[in-house]
DNA sequence: CTACTGACCGCGA
DNA sequence: GTCGCGGCCAGTA
């Protein structure tokens, strides 16, 4: 069978689902892990296409600077920050210190088996 | 077909 | 910290 055009979606979702509890990852990292290096936008699009009710830690996905992708005050922003805090992730001014909660090279390798 | 937009990224100044 | 530029893919007008 032919590969569905949503294969990228599936890979992205899988990569997001692989983020451990209490940790976060950037769009670029997800895209790279999904086999789509440089397609960070695709990740953003995919997240916008996530069906409501689907079990996916979308809130663990942040920008490369640790900033929440949603505009401050918006529904998604509140929801994401709230969920992150609920997991023990420090959200300050709509931003998360990736240096602390981001996936380290070791952990990243342990999770996704990237050579190092 | 072109043009614009979007839960983006990285570099340079 | 800011701003600008190019690149990337998909949907819409």
Judged against a pLDDT cut of 70, whether residue A115 lies above it is answered with no
Å from the A5 CA to the C6 C1': 27
Q: Are strands A25-26 and A61-62 parallel, antiparallel or unpaired?
A: parallel
Q: Which nucleotide is nearest to A44 (CA to C1')?
A: B7
Assess whether A38 (CB) lies less than 7 A from strand C: yes
Å from the A64 CA to the B13 C1': 21
Over range A33-62, report the average pLDDT.
Answer: 91
Judged against a pLDDT cut of 60, whether residue A44 lies above it is answered with yes
Judged against a pLDDT cut of 90, whether residue A78 lies above it is answered with yes
CATH of domain A7-111: 1.10.10.10
Question: Residue A17: beta bridge partners?
Answer: none
Rounded CA gap, A103 and A101, in Å? Answer: 7
Judged against a pLDDT cut of 60, whether residue A56 lies above it is answered with yes
Å from the A48 CA to the C13 C1': 20
Assess whether A65 (CB) lies less than 7 A from strand C: yes
């Amino acid at each position: 069978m032919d590969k569905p055009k949503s294969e990228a979606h599936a890979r992205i979702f899988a990569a997001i689902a692989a983020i451990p509890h209490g940790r976060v990852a950037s769009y670029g990292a997800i895209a790279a892990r999904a086999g789509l290096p440089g397609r960070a936008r695709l990740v953003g699009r995919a997240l916008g296409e996530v069906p409501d009710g689907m079990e996916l830690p979308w809130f663990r996905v942040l920008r490369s600077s640790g900033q929440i992708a949603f505009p401050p005050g918006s529904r998604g922003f509140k929801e994401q920050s709230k969920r992150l805090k609920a997991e023990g992730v420090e959200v300050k001014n709509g931003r998360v210190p990736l240096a602390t909660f981001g996936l380290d090279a070791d952990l990243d390798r342990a999770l996704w088996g990237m050579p190092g």
